[in-house]
Amino acid sequence: MGSDLCKMLAVMLFVGCVPTVEPQQHSFDPSFVVMATEADTWDAVVDVFGDRGWSITSMDRAGGFMVTDWVQVHNRPSWLDCGSYKWPQNRGEARFNMRIQPEPEGGVTKVTVRTSMRGEMPNVRVTSGMFSSEHGGGYKSCYSTGAVEEQIKADLLRRLPAI
């Protein structure tokens, strides 16, 4: 039993001493311009999000806004920065807030993708002999690296008709 207690204390000391790095906000331009009409751009956006299974909770074509629910981006660790705590990178979620607006010159549309990210924190139970401790659970705020926005842009460009 004494050995178990020593192991438990050693693990707790090690975990407590590991420096954590907070997630960093990445610098990237969330807007891009596509050479397509506003109607064609809207159709492509809806198709891209539908193909990925990302549910749209609110859409106003006349106002140029679209919002999604929290959608899963599992197994895409390059899309989000959750800091040094690595677990959430395999269980990430994103919420997209998009603005789609025609440019004055016509046949050109500006798309802005604003992304909120979070990582799900698993419950971790550490048990050693008669001692047990549970850690984690809930969500950790993360930042987008800009990679998911670039992926959305690439998917849109593949869907839009060549002008």
* CA distances, 66 to each of 59, 112, 114, 145, 162 (Å): 4, 10, 10, 21, 24
Residue 97 makes CB contacts below 8 A (sequence gap 6+) with 65, 66, 67, 68, 113, 114, 115, 116
Q: What is the mean pLDDT of residues 3-31?
A: 64
Across the range 29-39, mean pLDDT stands at 93
pTM for this structure?
0.74
In the block, tokens 């596509």 appear at 34
Q: Which domains does the chain have, with CATH numbers?
A: 2-10+26-159 (3.30.530)
- In the structure encoding, which two tokens stand for residue 65, read together? 């806004």
> Any idea what the Cα angle at residue 113 is, between residues 109 and 116, rounded to 5°?
170
Model confidence over 52-111: pLDDT tens digits?
999 999 999 999 999 999 998 866 678 888 876 554 445 788 999 999 999 988 889 999
Is the pLDDT at 14 greater than 80, yes or no? no
**What local confidence, expressed as pLDDT, does residue 60 receive?**
97
Token reading at 141: 């705020």
pLDDT at 136 over 80: no
pLDDT of residue 26: 86
Average pLDDT along the chain: 80
Rounded Cα distance between 126 and 131, Å, is: 8
